[in-house]
A and B are shown apart, each in its own frame.
Chain A
Amino acid sequence: EAQVTQNPRYLITVTGKKLTVTCSQNMNHEYMSWYRQDPGLGLRQIYYSMNVEVTDKGDVPEGYKVSRKEKRNFPLILESPSPNQTSLYFCASSPPGLGVYEQYFGPGTRLTVT
């Protein structure tokens, strides 16, 4: 089954404790992206990657890191989480190319930082 998986689905952590949210897709997509969703703000793009070792900032990259060492994986790293990073996080992927394609979203990770 074609899918985007995220782990963990739920996470409660404390300020300053480094964490990683994993994202993996099995569709051989080149494009992957991370978003955060907050009430009243919709989805905001954190980082995206157009291919292995190619990443770029979205609109809200502060406090986050990403890496793309393999095509299928695109982990999101919070080196020192803060309460304002409490949010619902989505990973997404889509095919590359000149056309525009819909994104396939993971199920989401609900993060709470206390």
Chain B
Amino acid sequence: AQKITQTQPGMFVQEKEAVTLDCTYDTSDQSYGLFWYKQPSSGEMIFLIYQGSYDEQNATEGRYSLNFQKARKSANLVISASQLGDSAMYFCAMRVLSGTYKYIFGTGTRLKVLA
């Protein structure tokens, strides 16, 4: 069975500093995709970044990068130069490409950026 683990329920970071949100996953499938979503206090879910299991390069989207370590089964989100607007809940998610459209989400990490 697939599983996503986010071990940091909450984190603080100083404005303008970088922060890493941890995500480990478990699957026996070789083909899968990993996602990060942001949920601000307003409640909507915002897609941030995606990494495919066969992608050799780590994904980057602006200030977001995904530190993908396949052997360790980790997909950590790195936010550089944190901003106050980055304060939110962050979810890691996975979908395997074995014909099913099941998505598995982690329990989330609440990030607070301090001024």
Question: Contact: B45 with A100, CB < 8 Å?
Answer: no
**Which of B43, B105, B108 is the one whose CB lies under 8 Å from A107?**
B43
User: Is A65 at the interface (CB under 8 A from chain B)?
Assistant: no
Given contacts A50-B101, A98-B97, A100-B97, contact A42 B44 (CB under 8 A): no
Given contacts A43-B91, A102-B50, contact A33 B103 (CB under 8 A): yes
Q: Taking CB as reference atom, which chain A residue is nearest B100?
A: A56
Say whether chain A's binding surface is mostly helix, strand, loop, or mixed.
Answer: strand
Please report which residues of chain A, range 21-79, place their CB below 8 angstroms from some CB of chain B when the two chains form the complex. 31, 33, 35, 40-45, 48, 50, 56, 58-59
Task: Kindly state the separation between the CA atoms of A58 and B52 in the bound complex, as whole angstroms.
Answer: 22
- How many B residues, CB 8 Å from partner? 26
Question: Contact: A100 with B95, CB < 8 Å?
Answer: yes
Task: Kindly state the separation between the CA atoms of A52 and B24 in the bound complex, as whole angstroms.
Answer: 34
Task: Kindly state the separation between the CA atoms of A40 and B107 in the bound complex, as whole angstroms.
Answer: 6
Q: Interface on A for B, CB 8 Å cutoff?
A: 31, 33, 35, 40-45, 48, 50, 56, 58-59, 88, 90, 92, 98, 100, 102-105, 107-108
Q: Interface on B for A, CB 8 Å cutoff?
A: 4, 6, 9, 32-33, 35, 37, 43-45, 47, 50, 52, 91, 93, 95, 97, 100-108
| 15 residue pairs from A and B, CB less than 8 Å apart | A42-B91, A42-B108, A43-B91, A48-B103, A50-B101, A59-B104, A98-B97, A100-B32, A102-B35, A102-B50, A103-B45, A103-B103, A105-B44, A105-B45, A108-B44
Number of residue pairs spanning A and B whose beta carbons lie under 8 angstroms apart: 57
Among A41, A43, A104, the one with the most B-chain Cβ atoms within 10 Å of its Cβ is A43
Task: Kindly state the separation between the CA atoms of A105 and B37 in the bound complex, as whole angstroms.
Answer: 10
Task: Kindly state the separation between the CA atoms of A92 and B37 in the bound complex, as whole angstroms.
Answer: 13
Give every chain B residue within 8 A of A103 (Cβ-Cβ).
35, 45, 47, 103
Give every chain B residue within 8 A of A104 (Cβ-Cβ).
47
